[in-house]
Amino acid sequence: MAVTDATLARARIPFDRSIALRHPAIFQRRVSPLLLRLALLAVFVGLFVCAIYRLDLSVVRTLQGFGALVHFVSLMLPPSASTWGKFLVYLHALGETIAIAFLGTLIAAVIAMPCGFLASRNVMPIGVLRFFTRRVSDVVRGVDQLIWALIWVGIVGLGPMAGVLAVATSDFGTFVKIFSEAIETADRRPVEGIMSSGGDKLEVIRFGIVPQVLPVLAGQVLYLFESNTRSSTIIGIVGAGGIGLHLSEQIRTLEWQHVSLLIIMILVAVALTDAVASRLRRSIAGRAGELATTR
């Protein structure tokens, strides 16, 4: 039987605002996807044009630059340090870089540990202190490590010590955030158990929270050590010690063979610390996992 228009018209449900109100998600006016796409594209292109104009980027200069770059790369081969003595100097600088990362990370971790507790809701009842600790760590984290290095060079003078302090400062900010997050997500049950058996505040922290968060923290410290090995290769650029000092010097004097050697040394050192740190991290995570399953 064919349905006539009249039947359809009679069957039509009169539109009622209440239906729209009951199902807002269906009746909501959506932005047309095409319009949205066009608007996005316009923003992207507009910013692009603006950037080209503001930053004064010209095709000619870019092409000339690429020509120079190809020339430089051809000069980089083969990597060489000219003399063994120079190579030893670079090797020592590389060792210094890793030492900066290690010492900086460790100092930051030791100082950030108590601050992490100060910034956690479940340990620190005084809101003002918590707020203050968090904001300080936010600001410290907001300033780049390289800028910290620049500031520390101004305070303790040129040399690796400024580098150590720069790494320690910027890591401190990161650690306080990570530590306090780990502490806040700690299981409440061990804490309650110790409280109910008469433990005081310090014992609650020592036996209720620390065993839970220690593996997490150790993992994070190792992870940051890894990333600091990367970043401490460059803080020498502003005079804060390590291999970056030699690298920037060799780039400035256009000794491209030395540059390529230094870059290779950096890559090898980073890969090695990566491998060691991630093995250690896995073994810590493994042990923490065992603990969790036997509990």
Partner 1 sequence: MPSALQSLPERQLEPLVKAYRDAVRAKRMQAALGLGLVLGLLGLAAWTTQFDALLLAANADRLSSYFVRIFHLENGALAWTDPAEWFWGVLPEYNFRWLWSLWDTLLIAYLGTLFGTLGGFLLCFMASTNLAPSPAHVFFARRALEFFRSVPEIVFAMIFVAAFGLGALAGVLALSIHTMGALGKLFSDAVENIDMRPVDGLTATGASWWETNRYAVLPQVLPNFTSYVLWRFENNVRGASVMGLVGAGGIGQDLMEYIRKFYYSDISALLVLIVSLVVIIDVLTGRLRHFLLGLQEAR
Q: Which of 227, 216, 213 is nearest to 105 (CA)?
A: 227
Q: Which is nearer to partner 1, 108 or 247 (CB)?
A: 247
Minimum CB–partner distance for residue 180 and partner 1 (Å)? 18
Sequence-separated (6 or more) residues with CB below 8 Å from residue 77: 257, 260
Orientation angle between helical segments 210-232 and 160-184, nearest 10 degrees: 150
Q: How is residue 28 written in tokens?
A: 């909501």
Minimum CB–partner distance for residue 270 and partner 1 (Å)? 6
Minimum CB–partner distance for residue 280 and partner 1 (Å)? 11
Q: Which is nearer to partner 1, 114 or 142 (CB)?
A: 142
Surface-to-core class of residue 146, CB atoms within 10 Å of its CB (0-12 exposed, 13-18 middle, 19+ buried): middle
Cβ atoms within 10 A of the Cβ of 284, count? 18
Q: Which is nearer to partner 1, 115 or 123 (CB)?
A: 115
Q: Which is nearer to partner 1, 124 or 247 (CB)?
A: 247
| DSSP tag of 209 | I
Minimum CB–partner distance for residue 132 and partner 1 (Å)? 16
Q: What residues make contact with partner 1 under the rule CB under 8 A? A: 25, 30, 44, 47-48, 50-51, 54-57, 61-62, 64-66, 68-69, 72, 95-96, 98-100, 102-103, 106, 138-139, 142-144, 146-147, 150-151, 154-156, 159-161, 163-165, 230-231, 233-234, 237-238, 241, 247-248, 251-252, 254, 259, 263, 266-267, 270-271
CA angle 238, 241, 247 (to 5 degrees): 70
Minimum CB–partner distance for residue 183 and partner 1 (Å)? 21
How many whole angstroms separate alpha carbon 186 and alpha carbon 212? 7
Q: Which is nearer to partner 1, 180 or 260 (CB)?
A: 260
Minimum CB–partner distance for residue 40 and partner 1 (Å)? 11
209 HSE (CA, 13 A, CB side): 27
Q: Which is nearer to partner 1, 130 or 246 (CB)?
A: 246
Q: Which is nearer to partner 1, 118 or 247 (CB)?
A: 247
Minimum CB–partner distance for residue 163 and partner 1 (Å)? 7
Torsion sign (Cα): 105, 109, 112, 117: positive
Instruction: Tell me the H-state helices in the chain.
Output: 5-11, 17-22, 24-27, 33-54, 59-76, 84-118, 127-142, 145-156, 160-184, 188-196, 201-203, 210-232, 243-252, 256-294
